[in-house]
Structures are given as C-alpha cells and as structure tokens.
Structure 1
C-alpha cells in the first residue's frame, strides 16, 4: 500500500444520543490523521452528538426534507429510492476508499452503491443482535421482518468486512443470516476512559442526589429494548425489603409515558427519578451505589463498560449479546436472567447489603473496563481498515 491517505466516508441516519453514534464520533475524532481522511454523511443533520464531531470533519446532509416516518407506504418507498440514488451519486462523485456504516437501514444503500463504484470498499458495523432486534421491533410485522432478514442475508455477505461489537453478534450473523465467518471481525465498542475519569469528578447539583438514600442507577434510551419495567418492578421489591433507596434512570425515549404510569401504579413516585438526557452521566454513575442494565437484547452495551470504568458495582441481564462477554459473573459484576424481576431484585438486595462484595466487584470492574479503552480499540479499527484496502 502507498503512503496515500485512506479516504473514509461514514454514513449514518443522524447523530442522536446512542451507542452507534458514539462509536462514529470516537472514530471520526481519533483515527490517525496521517493515515485517514474522514467525512460524515447524515440522512438528517440533527442530534445531540453533532457538536462532538471535530471541526475539521466535513459533514454532508442527504435529506433536507421530511423523513420516511409517518408517510404512506408508496411515499416511503419512493423516498427510499431517492436515498439510494443520492447515496450512489455522492459515493460515485467522492469515490471514497471505504464506506463505513453502523446502520441496518443504510447498509443496503451502501452495498447497492458499491455496485456502481467498484473500487469502493464497504464495511458494515453491526451494533446489536439482529435476530433479537428484528423480533422485538417488528413484532406482528412478519412480512416486513422477512423482507429485512432477506436483505441482510443477501447484502451483508457482499460487504468487504462486517465488524461485530461482540462474539455473540457475530455468531448470530453467521448462523441466522449466513454471513461467512471470514467476513466477520469482532471489535468491542470503545470507551474513553480518560474522559470518563475527568467527567465523573464534576459536582452534582441535582436535589434528588442530596438525600442519604442508596442510589441505584441505569443509563439508556427509554425504549422497550431496555426493559425498564422489569427494573422498576424489581426496585419495588428492594423497597419492600426496607432498603431506603432511589432509582435513577437517565435517558429519554418513547417509553417515558408508559414507565411513568407504571411508577405511579406501583406507588414509587417519590423514589424513582427519570431526569431525561444528561450531557455528563458519569458523575451520577460515580456517585451511585449500583448500576443496573435490564435489557432484553444488546450488542456490546457502552453504558455497562462505562459504569465499570466509574468504579461502581454492576448488575446486568444475561441478554443476547454482549453482557456475558463484558462481565464474568461474581468476578467483576453480576449476571441475572432477563425478564426476571425476582432474580434482579435479589441481586440488587445482595449487593446493597454486602458492601465488601460490592467493592470487590467494583475494583475488578475498573480493570475490565480498561480492556475497552479508546486508544486500544481505535488501533484495532485502523488495522481492519488498512487490511481491507490492502486486499485486492
């Protein structure tokens, strides 16, 4: 390979708060500038994370009109074909060496565009367990689920590489969607340990953190994937065991109203707090007694690794995929069955009462979190990017 910089085009839907957006930011901001020249193409130029992208990164906005949501089927189909055309046009014009996308909806566009720009390589970054994701998000939409499954089956094998964020995600792609093993590379999601260590020490001025109650915290979108209803039900059991604790769920999303109704129905309105999105969640995690991930599916949850980096004991469901690759049960955290509020409540009660075990898990958790440090993970990405270009 020559000394010429590798031209990278990242494509995603938008830059709202989420794991895949965070990974794109880390790569855009930290890939070696002497080796890579990166730009970003967004379907919609919006989101809380837009201002985190370095100023020298060129950002393009694909659609300046309304999105595919809330349109009749034919209108959505027409607009999707517009996207295909526009993505192909941009790729054909800019001729990037590599197109990189973590979006399930955009991956087929990138593969289709590759047919017209044959020298361009395509890397798909899979951030979640696709089988579990499709089953949950397309429940009672069998026809649509089948179409998307067929697209994944047909398109992903045409990518030059498929980077999966955990072994479980890669195994699912290989077994359920027949993506060849030699196409799959596992790279865990990165966390910025240095930034976390700095931000976690900022002062908290929120009143709900001033009382002496124990603090149980979770961070993530208010979405069915996170299964917060089980966490809230389990928290009720914790309170019934005469443990004075607050549950703080940081994040925003479409399930807010349902979760607030559940909190009211269970009579927990005075001890469950949902303050919405927080720019710096780490200071809240650091000052909590316990972090809980109650998800029913993941990929490699960033919030879990970040909580471990904050030195807080963690409990996670053993959901597909990722938590059981991050946590060794009863060594650096605790794993419980998903959708099981009793098991979750028992684990929370045990760690809140047994502080020596909690401290031991927290110390080991810090060591484990360092395995996902940004500097190490970015080098793994750089190696894959260079290898893809090197292969004729």
Structure 2
C-alpha cells in the first residue's frame, strides 16, 4: 500500500491546516500509511507531534523551487516513504514539492486549493498545470471557478474535484461554551464576527456598519474576534467614527462557539472565502447570518432562509438586513434553526471524510 503525503509549509494556523490535520488523522486512523511534511515551527507540525502520524519538518520559501538540492531532498524523502499520492497546499508548495514529485514518478500529484482567488495566467502556472499537476482538489464550487477564471484551458475541468470542508459535529456541538460577552441590557443586540484582522476579512467595513447602526439609533454591541496586522488601524478607525463604545475587540478566540454564541447575529465582511468555516460554525450555533453575496458564501448561507446575502461593501443594504433582524426576533430564531439543519446536512465531517477517503484512496 503506497503512502499518501500531505505537504503544507504554512507556519500559521488556518482552514487549510485544519483540513490537512483532519484528513491525515482520519486516514491514519483507518490504517492507511500517511506522511505529513509541514513547517517545522508551524502549528500543524506541532499538533501532529503526538498523533502517531509520520511528520517531517521543513521550510519553504517562494523561490525554493529553484534550489536543486532542496528539490532532490524532497524527492528522496518521497521515494523513501513510498509515496503514491501527494496533496500540496500552497503555490510555493506546488512549485517545490510538485517538481520533486514529478522527478520521483509519483502517480497522483494533487494541488489542493482553498482560496477563491483566480490563478494567474503566467507561463510558470501554465507549465505546472500542464506538466506537473495531475488533479486539483477544491473546497467549493466558487473556488473551482477561480481555477479557470483567467484561462479556461489552464487545466481540464473534469480533473477538478469539489469536496466541502467538514466539521466534526459531535466535537463542535459538545464543547462547553463560555460566552465572552454578557449583554448589559436585555434589548441590546449583539453582533459577532470572527476572523484574522487582515485585508481579506475586511473588518473596516464592519466599523462603517457600526457607525451606520449608531446613526440609526440601534442599541447594539459588535464583537470582533481575532488578531492580525490591522488591529491598530481598526481600533483607530473605531475611535475616529466615535463607535469605540459599541465595539469590543475580543482578541484571539480559542473556541469559536464562545464568541459566536455571545451574539444574536453573525456578520461576515470577507471579500472572499474559499469555504467559510466560520459561517458553517455560526449556523451550527443557530445564529442567523448577514454576509456578502460573493465567492462561496451562497454555498454556505441560503439567502433569505438561513441568513441574508448583500452586495459587497454596500453599507446601507447590509445595515438594512441587520436592522430587520434586530426588529424581528422570531425570524432570527427561525433562520438560526434552518441554518443548523442546513449545516448539519451538508458539512458533517463524517460524510465529508468518507468522500476524502474515496477520492484519495480509491480515486473516485
């Protein structure tokens, strides 16, 4: 039986790393030989140390694929572990490990793409997708569209497989919840948001929303969970718009439920999401959602049923939906209930992991 290798050089922790951890752990538990090559100082590597899964540490830079010694080193590792399938996470991983895999004669070279951003139509990408990559695995139909958005002949569409990210329902729902915010008054509306404080997550828009809701004299609090490079800029913007009293920057949140369950409505301002884990988690917490009608959001949020989707960066439309939900608590509850059912039926890790096994082990 040949080994399935997961190659992920990201140091930080995110949705891609969570996917690699869960997929490798599940396959290992079923008795399939698994190897993970991860950033030696990364969170994925750290979490795998006590798992019993073979895990090797590495570092990869954007130009590592130009280093012949590095390519040969990876090639030797893959050959030594009898790898038959490799799944790579980042563009830089593909450039390095993809080339090493080709030299090692690996049958299935899979690029897993989790970001709904169009792939550049560069000569280097055309080379890799024509000569190195055998299959592409994506986490949503929106992500699949972005693979070919700038070049419809870049890669055969029938070789792009869609498998949604899964959530361990028993673990997620079974975790005890410790709300990170308590309402000051019963009629206070609490909005929650969770994500890295980075450009993609677009929390600056939410501060504009806070200013608009304050102008409309809505009694509310906005909880923003997460850390990132834009924290100081966001705090300053809140002060400049005089909404610092309405916004709580909650910092890093270990258990998403602690923040999500503290709110009445979950709001997401991301400009793109390959697959919105946090949207599915909010649905499982029975919270109605207001988010943008873009990328994969319509695959996770059923507009008008489990939440509302609005045009990107449209302050009035977004605030209108929040205000509507604020004034209609019965609809909030009904939307939350429908969202729970939808997430449970579509994103349960048991069925998702079965699809991953069928794909990686049996090629279907």
Paired position in structure 1 for 2:33:
37
CA RMSD of aligned residues (A): 2.3
Whether the 8 Å contact between 1:298 and 1:322 is mirrored in structure 2 is: yes
TM-score (ref. length: structure 1): 0.84
Whether the 8 Å contact between 2:116 and 2:142 is mirrored in structure 1 is: yes
Cα distance between partner residues in 1 of 2:318 and 2:57 = 43
Measure how far apart 1:80 and its partner are: 5.7
Paired position in structure 2 for 1:87:
74
Paired position in structure 2 for 1:191:
167
Whether the 8 Å contact between 1:223 and 1:253 is mirrored in structure 2 is: yes
Measure how far apart 1:172 and its partner are: 2.1
* Secondary structure of the structure 2 residue equivalent to 1:268: coil
Pair 1:55 & 2:51 matched: yes
Cα distance between partner residues in 1 of 2:342 and 2:288 = 12
Name which of 153, 163, 174 aligns with 2:126: 153
Pair 1:97 & 2:84 matched: yes
Measure how far apart 1:103 and its partner are: 1.5
Measure how far apart 1:280 and its partner are: 0.6
Pair 1:261 & 2:268 matched: no
Pair 1:368 & 2:364 matched: no
Cα distance between partner residues in 1 of 2:72 and 2:321 = 52
Name which of 312, 316, 326 aligns with 1:352: 326
* Secondary structure of the structure 2 residue equivalent to 1:106: helix
Q: What is the number of equivalent residue pairs in this alignment?
A: 357
Deviations 1:123-173 (A, max 9, x none): 111101222xx7xxxxxxxxxx66xx4433332343222111111211221
Cα distance between partner residues in 1 of 2:302 and 2:201 = 21
Measure how far apart 1:15 and its partner are: 5.1
* Distance change in 2, residues 1:34/1:156 (3 Å): same
Measure how far apart 1:292 and its partner are: 1.0
Paired position in structure 2 for 1:71:
none
Paired position in structure 1 for 2:93:
106
Whether the 8 Å contact between 1:234 and 1:345 is mirrored in structure 2 is: yes
Pair 1:275 & 2:250 matched: yes
TM-score (ref. length: structure 2): 0.90
* Secondary structure of the structure 2 residue equivalent to 1:225: helix
Paired position in structure 1 for 2:103:
116
Measure how far apart 1:30 and its partner are: 2.1
Paired position in structure 2 for 1:22:
18
Paired position in structure 1 for 2:272:
297
* Secondary structure of the structure 1 residue equivalent to 2:223: strand
Pair 1:165 & 2:127 matched: no
Paired position in structure 2 for 1:221:
196
Cα distance between partner residues in 1 of 2:232 and 2:306 = 34
Cα distance between partner residues in 1 of 2:48 and 2:79 = 28
Whether the 8 Å contact between 2:49 and 2:55 is mirrored in structure 1 is: no
Whether the 8 Å contact between 1:62 and 1:86 is mirrored in structure 2 is: no
Whether the 8 Å contact between 1:28 and 1:53 is mirrored in structure 2 is: no
Paired position in structure 1 for 2:158:
182
Q: How does 1:212-251 map to 2 (within 5 A)?
A: 212=185, 213-251=188-226
Whether the 8 Å contact between 1:15 and 1:50 is mirrored in structure 2 is: no
Whether the 8 Å contact between 2:39 and 2:45 is mirrored in structure 1 is: no
* Secondary structure of the structure 2 residue equivalent to 1:273: strand
* Distance change in 2, residues 1:332/1:26 (3 Å): same
Pair 1:323 & 2:297 matched: yes
Deviations 1:347-369 (A, max 9, x none): 11111111121111111100111
Whether the 8 Å contact between 2:38 and 2:44 is mirrored in structure 1 is: no
Measure how far apart 1:91 and its partner are: 1.8
Paired position in structure 2 for 1:138:
none
* Secondary structure of the structure 1 residue equivalent to 2:197: coil
* Secondary structure of the structure 1 residue equivalent to 2:103: coil
* Secondary structure of the structure 1 residue equivalent to 2:244: coil
Measure how far apart 1:34 and its partner are: 3.4
- In structure 2, the gaps of 5 or more residues are none
Cα distance between partner residues in 1 of 2:124 and 2:182 = 47
Deviations 1:281-325 (A, max 9, x none): 212212310111111111111111111111111111012x21011
Cα distance between partner residues in 1 of 2:64 and 2:106 = 28
Cα distance between partner residues in 2 of 1:236 and 1:7 = 54
